[in-house]
Amino acid sequence: MSFLAQTGGLSSGQAGTSEVQSLRAAWEATELPAGDFADLVALFYGLPRITLPQLMAATPQLAGFSTRFLREMGVMPYRAANGTLCLATGDPSDLAATRAAELVLDSTIALTIASFEDIASVLAQRLGEADAPLEEAAPSTVEPLVEDLENLRDLASGAPVVRAVNDIFEKAIELRASDIHIGPFRNGIEVRMRVDGLLRTVTAPAGVLPRAIISRIKILAGLDIAERRLPQDGAARLKLSRDELDVRVAIMPTQHGEAAVIRLLPRDRGQLSVEKLGLAAHDQAKLTDLMTLPHGMIVVTGPTGSGKTTTLATILSALNEPSRKILTIEDPVEYEIRGIHQSQVKPSIGLTFATALRAFVRHDPDVIMVGEVRDAETAHVAVHAALTGHLVLTTLHTETAAAAVPRMLDLGVEAFLLKSVLRAVIAQRLVRQLCERCRRARVLTGSDLVADPRYAAVGFKPGETVYEPHGCERCGGAGYRGRVGAFEILVFDERLREMIEEKSGGTALDRAAVAGGMTTMFDDGMAKCRAGITSPAEVLRVTTLR
């Protein structure tokens, strides 16, 4: 009731669009979740409320509607299970949209209330499945040529474009996105955001030119808006309402214009601690022991986006004491840690990983972190830094922990040197966590194992409980919210060191490590399944049984 009071005492039945506008203004002032706002609109107008899972399950009625109309009006026509034609809307006071939908459907329709975000999510999915006439019905937004650079700069600095770009960033923060992908196509622009490792399409800004949006992003990142033929990279620091974040921008020319990928790096990432990484108790004990080593090399492996930088930053935070001097060379610096001297590579002026490492050893460090071993020169300098009494932390791109050894040998590191310095390799992947609000438990039966052989293949037996995603408004219908690591920590004992000198392959090292008690990423992920943290399907998506 206190929320409704902020609208100025509106009563149901008032005409015009002021009601929802006032409600929405109050919603923005109180930062009410989108679903709760939709609940209040439904209550205020006395209309049925439809949730995201219900809307996803409904039969869409998109024939005759243009893509632009549906997205700009924020409506979703569908047929209910009882055959009634309905229109899901976030603004029931928009009589023009309702009347237009009735004309297209040639029938009266029943209004239902959904949140604006839910409607955008369903439209993003359904419009991708719709027939070609939908795209043909959308008016062409091919932009005119803008030859005058000053006009383009003025356009990119105008209020509509600035507002559109800010809305994109604010939506990304709301969804907890790590990246924003903006790409031009023949009939407009597409915006996708990577949430918990997977891309999700969101509503693109309407009424602004794609080139103006890209130019605005280039201006923020300090890039040349006149250069449209070559890739460009830049960075910026933004402040949006109460959020402050660093962004990395990559621009790439494509067939229909320039595309942008923006990596979001929130400055306030909370306290980094080993306990929050998601390590099993025995692996956390191994990592704690490794952090007490006075010298040697610890390598973190995994593909791009597997959380290697977060793991390294967490280890550095744990090692960050006044008695230690810690130096890092990174590309880029993603976590700013007080008390640690952090540098960023600048190849254009000759500051590479290798040159920075050579300089580091003259600054009397105790711990050195190298963002990535990419070439033979960096590998050799890192190994020699570890040999001279420093603890060196770095990353590699390999599939498993054991595969880091042949990779280092391929880079030209001598086997006897690698044997002397390599202390451990940590391999990891990120799996999505089940949404705690909507996850569902299921007790497996014999028929379940027959119907889906994957359960038996990964070691589940009848009577065991698995947790599966369902989908709710909190997780945006995905069934997952947030990510956690699946790890394997390979600590080199005497036998494994001898295998390094013998130049044994990664498979042989992996078998010996498992025989010695190493838990693989797959096994760690399945343990998280049994604990209800993630699902078997998610573990199988990012890891392999071996």
Instruction: Give residue-wise pLDDT tens across range 448-495.
Output: 888 887 788 778 888 989 899 998 888 888 899 999 999 999 999 999
What would the pLDDT profile of 306-329 be if each residue is shown by its tens digit? 999 999 999 999 999 999 999 999
Which is nearest to 188 in space by CA: 168, 205, 172?
205
Biggest distance spanned by C-alpha atoms of the chain: 83
**Inter-residue contact 264 to 360 (CB < 8 Å):** no
Question: Rounded CA gap, 208 and 447, in Å?
Answer: 55
Which residue carries 């590479």 as its tokens? 352
pLDDT at position 226: 86
Q: What is the mean pLDDT of residues 214-218?
A: 92
Strand, coil or helix: 424? strand
Task: Enter the DSSP assignment of 49.
Answer: B
Residue 323 structure tokens: 């008695």
As a whole number of Å, the end-to-end CA separation of the chain is 58
pTM of the model: 0.68
pLDDT at position 363: 93
Whole-Å CA distances, 143 to 140, 166, 258: 9, 21, 13
Residues in the chain: 546
Between 244 and 54, whose confidence is greater? 54
What would the pLDDT profile of 71-92 be if each residue is shown by its tens digit? 888 899 999 988 899 999 998 9
